[in-house]
């Protein structure tokens, strides 16, 4: 009986985590470059316990779904999107290397190209991409080559990772690239476009409702078992 309580409580805890994941996906449905979180669970040891209930040792977690989002045309010269697999290489103010699919960039006062969060866009040699003060039209080719007023200023660094499952999310649209093995990517750079989130809001709502129903069923099972234990305890007290 106590094993059933433990099983129900464990299931409720896992379902609560999944509800949080879905809620976070829905909250970022309109975040540029956001990659939805998806859950996984691995059963390491499955068995039937003494009460006939299934038991398993499970390892649960979540990974980012790297399926691309839709491209939306903006016409802004510093809005970039990737057509194909890969990430933009950027650097945070703390010097930490990051990867992102969010190609919404701005020109800072010092001439560097940065994200709205202050992350610096990197060239393929690992240095910050800068725009000379002389100005001129900014043109980015599909190969990532950047020119200003007809003068080349560098190439945007676009990379792929060997193990996407090992990426650690730092915020909504960026991942930690510290110690991550990367290689040049063949994705095409699209100037004047942004990649939207890959969250399917309808699908996430369906998942959320399913998780709520499962949570309620486990909650009911837990209460039923608890009531049964209480009744048995009262009956034993009469002897």
Question: Count of domains in the chain?
Answer: 2
The CA distances from residue 89 to 54, 60, 146, in Å, are 46, 29, 15
pLDDT value at residue 134: 74
Is 167:155 a contact under the CB 8 Å cutoff?
Answer: no
pLDDT value at residue 12: 65
Q: Does residue 239 lie within any of the structural domains? A: no
Gap between the Cα atoms of 187 and 185, Å rounded: 6
Residue 230 has pLDDT above 90, yes or no: no
pLDDT value at residue 83: 96
Based on the domain organization, do 78 and 169 belong to the same domain? yes
pLDDT value at residue 87: 97
Based on the domain organization, do 49 and 89 belong to the same domain? no
Instruction: Cite the beta strand spans of 51-144 per DSSP E.
Output: 54-64, 71-73, 80-83, 87-91, 97-100, 106-107, 113-114, 120-121, 138-140
Q: What mean pLDDT do residues 93-104 have?
A: 94
* Strand 168-169 with 158-161, pairing: unpaired
pLDDT value at residue 156: 97
Mean pLDDT of all residues in the chain? 84
Based on the domain organization, do 164 and 87 belong to the same domain? yes
Q: What is the pLDDT of residues 36-89, one digit of tens each?
A: 988 766 655 666 666 565 666 655 667 888 899 999 999 999 999 999 999 999
Gap between the Cα atoms of 179 and 168, Å rounded: 11
pLDDT value at residue 133: 79
b/e burial code for range 173-195 (CB count within 10 A of at least 16 → b): bbbbbeebebeebebebbbbbbb
DSSP state of 11: H
**pLDDT greater at residue 103 or residue 212:** 103
pLDDT value at residue 91: 96
Based on the domain organization, do 83 and 182 belong to the same domain? yes
Is 192:75 a contact under the CB 8 Å cutoff?
Answer: yes
Q: What mean pLDDT do residues 154-171 have?
A: 90
Based on the domain organization, do 32 and 95 belong to the same domain? no
Residue 16 has pLDDT above 90, yes or no: no
Gap between the Cα atoms of 176 and 104, Å rounded: 18
Task: Give 165's pLDDT tier (boundaries 50, 70, 90).
Answer: confident
Domain that holds residue 12: 2-66+199-230
Gap between the Cα atoms of 87 and 67, Å rounded: 12
**Residue found under tokens 């919404």:** 104
């Amino acid at each position: 009986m106590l094993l059933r309580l433990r099983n129900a409580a464990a299931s409720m805890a896992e379902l609560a985590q999944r509800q949080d994941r879905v809620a976070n996906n829905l909250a970022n449905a309109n975040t540029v470059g956001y990659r939805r979180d998806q859950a996984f669970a691995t059963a390491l040891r499955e068995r039937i316990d003494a009460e006939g209930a299934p038991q398993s040792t499970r390892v649960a977690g979540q990974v980012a779904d790297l399926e691309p989002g839709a491209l939306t045309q903006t016409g802004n010269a510093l809005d970039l999107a990737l057509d194909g697999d890969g990430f933009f290489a950027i650097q945070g103010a703390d010097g930490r290397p990051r990867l992102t699919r969010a190609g919404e960039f701005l020109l800072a006062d010092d001439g560097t190209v940065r994200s709205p969060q202050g992350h610096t866009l990197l060239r393929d040699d690992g240095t910050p991409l800068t725009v000379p003060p002389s100005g001129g039209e900014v043109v980015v080719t599909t190969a990532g080559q950047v020119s200003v007023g007809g003068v080349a200023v560098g190439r945007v660094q676009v990379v792929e990772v060997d193990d996407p499952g090992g990426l650690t999310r730092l915020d909504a649209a960026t991942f930690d690239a510290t110690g991550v093995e990367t290689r040049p990517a063949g994705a095409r750079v699209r100037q004047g476009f942004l990649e939207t989130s890959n969250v399917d809001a309808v699908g996430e709502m369906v998942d959320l409702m399913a998780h709520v129903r499962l949570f309620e069923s486990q909650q009911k099972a837990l209460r039923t078992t608890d009531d049964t234990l209480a009744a048995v305890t009262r009956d034993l007290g009469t002897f």
